[in-house]
Amino acid sequence: MVIYYTIVVFLFGICLGSFYNVVGYRLPKEESLISPSSHCTKCNHPLGASELVPIFSYLFLGGKCKKCKEKISLFYPVFELITGLLFVISYWIFGFSIEFAIAITFISVLLIVIISDYQTMIIPDETLIIGSIAILIEQFIQSGLKETCVHLAGGIISFTIMFLIKKLGDFLFKKESMGGGDIKLMFLFGIVIGPFMSTISIFIAAFIALPISLVILMKKKENIIPFGPFLSIAAILIFLFQIDSNFVIQLLTK
């Protein structure tokens, strides 16, 4: 049964991954998620049912548009695959439980953040608000009002810490050091992984971002690189590997 449920969760994940691609690209631009329907970005050819199957359509079509034969970005199937795998890992860790619901909600929001911030340099407020409310409701179902208030306080503390870091950065660099979306993102982190690990996620994100940013800068010569995707990756790693303050303290004191 585990294999069967793993396959079901994976298929569910890749389907949502395909949808998250649309949400992450269209929502920051205030475009409808329904109209126009999915289409080739090169020739605007509307995609038929056989072209909308996550991952498999890309393979069957040889990575090219059915009409204009232009190459389709490998990013789309890879993102769908990663979404499916993250859902499967969440299932393996938590089983079918309220923790699993929290996990896929948290991961889903962060995957949309990665898409939207990378492509448009915007983290949509709608994504963070809906995600945060959904997770707080799930936490209330899991632990009751008292624990939910603790999680909410964690979100407020994390938001405040990031806000102060931004103000310090603005003062030191004499310019905008961080986007408002990154600060709001920390509220979501706070309600899920707590204030301490939210702060640690900033350092992990910076560690991940440094080599990648250097490569991007060498290729594109851009001086603005979104930090939201790196924060999201760090938070997902912390959450799925269940890294907590005790682990960090033990690691630092060794």
Nearest CA-CA partner of 194 in 169, 168, 159, 228? 159
Instruction: Determine the pLDDT at residue 222.
Output: 60
User: How large is the greatest C-alpha to C-alpha distance in the chain, in angstroms?
Assistant: 60
Q: Which residues contact 41 (CB under 8 A, 6 or more apart)?
A: none
Q: Do 117 and 202 fall within a single domain? A: yes
Q: Do 111 and 78 fall within a single domain? A: no
pTM: 0.92
How much is the mean pLDDT over the chain? 88
Q: What is the number of alpha carbons within 13 Å of residue 249 lying toward its C-beta?
A: 4
Q: Do 67 and 145 fall within a single domain? A: no
Which among 96, 124, 140 is the end of a domain? 96
Q: Do 74 and 19 fall within a single domain? A: yes
Which among 68, 96, 124 is the end of a domain? 96
Higher pLDDT, residue 50 or 171: 171
Q: Do 78 and 117 fall within a single domain? A: no
pLDDT digits (tens, 9 = 90+) for 134-157: 999 999 999 999 999 999 999 999
Instruction: Determine the pLDDT at residue 141.
Output: 96
Sign of CA dihedral 215, 219, 221, 224: negative
Instruction: Determine the pLDDT at residue 174.
Output: 74
Q: Do 138 and 67 fall within a single domain? A: no
Q: Do 207 and 136 fall within a single domain? A: yes
Q: Do 59 and 163 fall within a single domain? A: no
Which among 30, 63, 96 is the end of a domain? 96
Nearest CA-CA partner of 101 in 138, 60, 130, 148? 138
Domain that holds residue 91: 1-96
Instruction: Determine the pLDDT at residue 207.
Output: 92
pLDDT-derived band at 220, boundaries 50, 70, 90: low
Q: Do 235 and 164 fall within a single domain? A: yes
Burial of 33 (0-12, 13-18, 19+ CB in 10 A): exposed
Q: Do 89 and 166 fall within a single domain? A: no
pLDDT digits (tens, 9 = 90+) for 163-214: 998 888 887 877 776 778 899 999 999 999 999 999 999 999 999 988 877 7
pLDDT above 90: residue 28: no
Q: Do 211 and 252 fall within a single domain? A: yes
